[in-house]
């Protein structure tokens, strides 16, 4: 049974980690040429300020809207999850994973109705799940 985030309805971080573990097992311990893997992350700009000014219910509403935007932009993703805080992630697999993640990031960033930033990255040989997530955090923070 998959775990759901109680605010966004997306998969939880635990479910995302289980997805990565299953993916790695299927790939013999790492992502490789047999199946590419790419991710897009988006976050709500100023969520802390929204929570402080308007309350947590308002912040949760922004998170739900961001989750909806990510789901729409990443309809063909293998999984979509709330990583934590204001970070939401979609994971794409297959030979077109990098292109799909880049398109999703561009779609998310182009929307002017939500204060979101988004970035995409592809898995690199030898990286662990933690390493690619750390790199993705750093990339989205520079947007």
Q: Does the domain formed by 13-141 have CATH 3.40.190.10?
A: no
Where along the chain do its domains lie? 13-141
Round the average pLDDT of the chain to a whole number and report it.
Answer: 87
**pLDDT: is 1 or 131 the higher one?**
131
**pLDDT: is 104 or 125 the higher one?**
104
pLDDT in tens, 47-96: 999 999 999 999 999 999 999 999 999 999 999 999 989 999 999 999 89
Closest CA to 40 of 20, 19, 70: 70
Known catalytic residue at 86: yes
Q: Which listed residue (5, 36, 43, 86) is catalytic?
A: 86
Query: Residue 96, SS3?
Result: coil
Q: Which range has the worst mean pLDDT, 26-30, 60-64, 110-114?
A: 26-30
* Tokens 């999850």 -> residue: 81
Cα 39 to chain centroid distance, Å, stands at: 6
pTM score, two decimals?
0.88
Q: How far apart are CA 69 and CA 42, in angstroms?
A: 9
Going by pLDDT thresholds of 50, 70 and 90, the confidence category of residue 2 is low
């Amino acid at each position: 049974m998959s775990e759901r985030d109680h605010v966004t309805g997306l998969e939880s971080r635990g479910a995302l980690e289980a997805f990565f573990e299953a993916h790695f097992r299927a790939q013999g311990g790492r992502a490789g040429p047999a199946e590419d893997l790419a991710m897009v992350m988006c976050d709500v700009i100023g969520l802390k300020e929204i929570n402080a000014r308007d309350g947590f219910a308002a912040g949760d509403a922004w998170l739900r809207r961001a989750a909806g935007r990510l789901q729409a932009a990443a309809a063909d993703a293998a999984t979509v999850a709330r990583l934590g805080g204001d970070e939401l992630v979609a994971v794409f697999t297959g030979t077109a994973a990098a292109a799909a993640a880049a398109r999703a990031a561009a779609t998310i960033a182009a929307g002017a109705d939500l204060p979101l930033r988004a970035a995409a990255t592809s898995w690199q040989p030898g990286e662990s799940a933690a390493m690619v997530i750390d790199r993705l955090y750093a990339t989205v923070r520079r947007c």
